[in-house]
């Protein structure tokens, strides 16, 4: 029998964004197929009386729902959708042990469990459910869309393919058998060390203090996760980071293999100047190559935007919420 673990959920508003007076907010929990209880923020348009289209939001990779996934969810609720922003398994207020690990399987399942939850809510039309993944959860959202036929529309914003970056390094700079072998040697040595110590070593979050010679994408992350703009006490990237071995399984489990079989609608959004832009462009190309279902797929490049501009707008309203909301409205009619 499915059982919900009792979670200790924060009751005060502790988000990195202001609370909207246009929506009602509450905390909810739901259980995934592995028995892990997930914590989520539920946003409902005020005075909503009819069944609504619903959207589940998660990401970025190493963030929590109090950061930009909550901003996306609340903003879309202002546009008339019932939304949830959830913490993935093993992170934030969600359950799962050990802490601070990720799994291409379990984290894809987290999206499907969110669809389970939304599908049985009295205020939700189960035939009008979408998902939105940000950064590393953009790739997970595409994987869920390839698997879950209940998902009618998917947005992947400023996405990462976490299997690709773990296997090949940033910008595919470590894409060789030897580089992957050395990475696996180090990770397996760490497994032995962790087992002997009966604890898991943390890999560290975003570097702090910021080195003078830090590349731009590191500075970009620092500007979000380590400043008042986006810092949160439960965010892995703001603090101690993932376990050193936490993402090991991503190396040989590509998540986008069947993305060109997605029949439902997909909108991929990336920043023109984002270091991660190549993930979005390549994912879109792979999704549409040889596919019979290209008419409902779209790639949008936001002029001038860097990666984290699509987390919170970057002070210049970079997130194309009008475009995203119109996409969901059209596809979730």
Which residue intervals of the chain are DSSP H helices?
68-78, 104-119, 136-147, 162-168, 177-197, 216-225, 277-288, 309-312, 321-331
Placement of tokens 């990475």 in the chain? 183
DSSP state letter for 243: B
pLDDT for 56-111, tens place per residue?
Answer: 999 999 999 999 999 999 999 999 999 999 999 999 999 999 999 999 999 999 99
pLDDT in the model for residue 2: 64
Percent of the chain with pLDDT over 70: 99
Instruction: Give the whole-angstrom CA distance, residue 131 versus residue 243.
Output: 27
pLDDT in the model for residue 282: 98
Instruction: Give the whole-angstrom CA distance, residue 85 versus residue 15.
Output: 12
**Which residues in the chain land under pLDDT 70?**
1-4
pLDDT in the model for residue 3: 67
Of 237, 166, 241, 199, the closest CA to residue 97 belongs to: 199
Long-range contacts of 178-182 (CB under 8 A, 24+ apart): 180/251
pLDDT in the model for residue 256: 96
Residue 57, helix vs strand vs coil: strand
pLDDT in the model for residue 301: 98
3-state helix, strand, coil in the chain (%, to 5): 35, 20, 45
């Amino acid at each position: 029998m499915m059982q919900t673990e009792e979670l200790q959920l924060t009751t005060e508003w502790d988000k990195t964004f202001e609370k909207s007076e246009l929506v009602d907010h509450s905390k909810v929990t739901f259980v995934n197929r592995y028995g892990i209880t997930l914590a989520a923020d539920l946003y409902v348009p005020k005075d909503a009386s009819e069944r609504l289209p619903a959207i589940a939001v998660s990401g970025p990779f190493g963030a929590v729902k109090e950061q930009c996934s909550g901003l996306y969810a609340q903003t879309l609720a202002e546009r008339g959708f019932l939304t949830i922003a959830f913490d993935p398994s093993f992170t934030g207020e969600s359950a799962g042990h050990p802490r601070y690990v990720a799994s291409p399987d379990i984290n894809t399942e987290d999206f499907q469990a969110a669809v389970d939850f939304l599908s049985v809510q009295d205020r939700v039309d189960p035939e009008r459910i979408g998902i939105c993944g940000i950064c590393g959860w953009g790739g997970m959202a595409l994987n869920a869309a390839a698997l879950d036929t209940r998902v009618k529309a998917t947005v992947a914003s400023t996405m990462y393919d976490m299997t690709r970056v773990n296997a090949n390094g940033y910008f595919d700079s470590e894409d060789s058998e030897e580089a992957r072998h050395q990475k696996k040697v180090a990770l397996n040595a760490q497994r032995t060390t962790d087992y002997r110590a009966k604890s898991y070593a943390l890999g560290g979050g975003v570097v702090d203090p910021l080195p003078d010679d830090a590349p731009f994408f590191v500075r970009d992350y620092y500007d979000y996760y380590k400043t008042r703009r986006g810092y949160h006490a439960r965010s892995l990237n703001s603090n101690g980071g993932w376990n050193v071995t936490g993402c090991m399984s991503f190396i040989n489990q590509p998540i986008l293999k069947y993305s060109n079989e997605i029949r439902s609608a997909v909108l991929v959004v990336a920043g023109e100047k984002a270091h991660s832009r190549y993930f979005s462009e390549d994912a879109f190309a792979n999704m549409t190559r040889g596919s019979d279902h290209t008419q409902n797929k779209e790639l949008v490049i936001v002029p001038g935007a860097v990666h984290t501009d699509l987390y919170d707008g970057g002070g210049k309203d970079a997130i194309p919420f009008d475009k995203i909301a119109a996409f969901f409205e059209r596809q979730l009619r």
